[in-house]
Chains A and B, each alone.
Chain A
Amino acid sequence: MMESKEIYVLSAKQVSVQQPLSEDWMRDPVVYDVPFARAIDPSFKDYVSPIEARRMGKILKRALATSKEALKAAGLETVDTIITGTGYGCIENTEFFLDALSKDGEQLLKPTYFMQSTHNTISSLVAIQTRNHGYNVTYAHKGISFDSALQDVWLQFRLGKINSALVGGHDEMTETFYHILKKGGVMGKDDELCGEAAVSVVLSTENDNALCKLKSFKMLHQPSLTALKDEFADVDYVLTGISGDHENDKAYLNEARALFGDKPLLKYKHLFGESFTSSGLGFYVAAQCLHAGFVPPSLFVNPEEADDRKPKRILLYNRSDGKNCSLTMLEA
């Protein structure tokens, strides 16, 4: 029953606060000194018709762009399964509907915003547009939303149920919503840059010019990580979610040092921003570094540790709220 085939990462595409659908950030990152930025959008005309685009929120357009680009780069028309992680779903349409409900009452509401307000609108849209009838689910669990999607794919590969998958991580953030989350103490603490995330990754058991391999994955709630120390010990770099949230960063540093000793620590959220699915951008960053054969100096937590080694294995270490945690090992 349990399959031990290799799982290859065939492609990884992003739209974020860095240059869209591009790896320009590796040599020339966009630098922000603001607490919140919206994503830099590509032109959507190649991915969605103008008529459709008018009715679609940004999160949906970005999901179509990254999904279609990821499939194209993987050389696949379609995949066996589409799985998405999104912390807040289509929050812009949710806001429109809530706003109308709160200000205009309950008699004049139109269905458009409601129809595109649920979390699985994203995965469904990608399935409709790629005519995909396969297993299709969506996870919405805070900072491990993308990780939960990855876990499901990991299980499906191991059970031999699938040979290919499109995994997405999508969260949009409006100006209003950013201020609400900051007020609620959810995001935007200390020196954090809050952003938006749209990531699509194609995984397959067939290696066709893969970026890297997905070697192992583990997700835990309120864990004691020491038990996992050996399983994830053999890595070159640890890519953390250090974000500028002082309390969480301190815990990252303490735990990472205890677990991984003197392995150089990396970060990406200072470039890509924080959101509930920013760990998807972390996955993208690690995959691109392994593919490019170097780690850009801008990623090192301690700039003095920057080196030009060719990375063989990068461990993604995501801890969110001090409770949810995931460890993902990618290998060149």
Chain B
Amino acid sequence: MAPILITGMGVVSAIGVGQAETLDALLNNRSGVGPLAYLKTEHKEFPVGEVKLTDAEMRARLGIPETAITTRTALMGMLALEEALCDAHLTPGMLPQVGFISGTTVGGMDMSEQFYLDYISSEAHKEYIAVHDCGSCTEMTANRFGKFAFTTTLSTACSSAANAIILGANMIRCGEADIVVVGGSECITKFHLNGFNSLMILDTEPCRPFDATRRGLNLGEGAAYLVLESEESAKRRCVKPQAMLSGYGNACDAFHQTASSPDGEGAYRAMKEALEEAGIKPADVDYINAHGTGTTNNDASESQAMKRLFGDQVPPVSSTKPFTGHTTSASGSIEAVFCIMALQQGFLPVNLNWSQPMEDGIIPVSQPTKKALKHVLCNAFGFGGNDSSLLLSKPES
């Protein structure tokens, strides 16, 4: 398989806006999870990983007037996309040759949940009706920067951004495009905070993935985009690859709508496919950025899947969710950015808040560790047993 190059990236999450703040937080074990400050909800008991900007502050940064119709998911998406395009030296004039694929599930729900009763019984806020759907979020984000060749939206819950990356790679491999910008964006909403709460999978303490005392996840939010590019195109444009996407897999657990199977069948298949596609052995994997949400069910299931694939030789694993909270649809691309930073800087991100081994679970990275990395796996699993795994590698010099 021809390698897919990554020639740019942009990221926004609770640990910072942009690559510099993000890397600094990761290297210094600085979590962005804390008391609720931005979302208007009764549930103040849950810690969250919010992006530390109000909608108005994001608008101001982007120069978007107060009166323009937009949503928080689109605003975060624009901040991340701006950085990714700039990082890859893509100008508006080049966008008609570039695709844009984004993942989201809540779309414009942040507005719909505020105005729902108005939508039904009055004329107030009706201009937000047309931006409720996921596709509108993608288009608002894309259209700010120019005229992309094509856009579409993946919506597979928490694996959405990872699946956007997979689609972009397949388009390049098919020769449908030379450059595709891929990733996802998702803000916290009352809708899914309450949904996750009704499923009793939110922890009132900071989340502790793979810990014996774990009791659930903390919600997070953010956006990240990667610029995927064919080798020829990068050569032609004289841009240096930051990493390679050397394999990827998606499989369905086909077990339950909101729970993972005890043996992690879907996760196992997704990781296995990613390695097979890259043509590497399990022993060649230097680090796994786990989905690791901190729920009892996910971490047990994911541990089993890793043990099935790697046997006694499970590579270093960490979940970075204690840094950012679970950024749901955006987690696949946000954590792919973390993996690329780990490849570039040669370090293992720490699984914060971990102290006690869980029964039959993996032991995550709990201390800052310098390590030269060549291949890293990045997992993102969603409701409906939608499991995706990406293999990111150091570019060949």
Interface residues of A, Cβ cutoff 8 Å to B: 1-2, 82, 86-89, 97-99, 101-103, 105-107, 109-111, 114-121, 123-125, 127-128, 131-142, 144-145, 148, 151-152, 155-156, 158-159, 176, 179-181, 183-186, 219-222, 276, 323-324
Contacts and interface: CB of A to CB of B under 8 A. Distances in A.
Contacts of B384: 118, 120-121, 123-125, 127, 136
What are the 6 closest A-B residue pairs judged by CB atoms, nearest first?
Answer: A184-B129, A124-B384, A114-B195, A141-B135, A140-B155, A136-B252
Nearest to B106: A118
A159 B174 contact: yes
19 contacts: A98-B113, A106-B43, A116-B257, A119-B157, A120-B384, A121-B257, A123-B156, A123-B252, A128-B255, A137-B163, A137-B166, A141-B135, A141-B138, A159-B173, A176-B120, A183-B129, A184-B128, A184-B132, A324-B151
Interface in B73-132: 105, 107, 112-113, 116-117, 119-120, 123, 126-130, 132
Contacts of B152: 139, 141, 144, 148, 151, 219
A124 B261 CA distance: 14
Chain A at the B interface: SS class = mixed
A156 B167 CA distance: 10
Given A123-B384, A140-B155, A115 B258 contact: yes
Given A98-B113, A133-B266, A221-B150, A110 B198 contact: yes
Q: Which of A109, A135, A145, A156 has the most CB of B within 10 A?
A: A135
Nearest to A116: B257
A115 B148 contact: no
A175 B141 CA distance: 30
B2 to A, nearest CB: 8
Contacts of A222: 147
Nearest to B196: A114
A118 B159 CA distance: 12
A220 B42 CA distance: 43
A180 B107 CA distance: 17
B155 A142 contact: no
Contacts of A155: 167, 170-171, 174, 176
B138 to A, nearest CB: 7
Given A134-B252, A152-B167, A118 B116 contact: no
B367 interface: no
A219 B170 CA distance: 15
Contact of A114 (B107, B139, B198, B385): B198
Q: Which of A110, A138, A184, A276 has the most CB of B within 10 A?
A: A138
A145 B135 CA distance: 9
A135 B151 contact: no
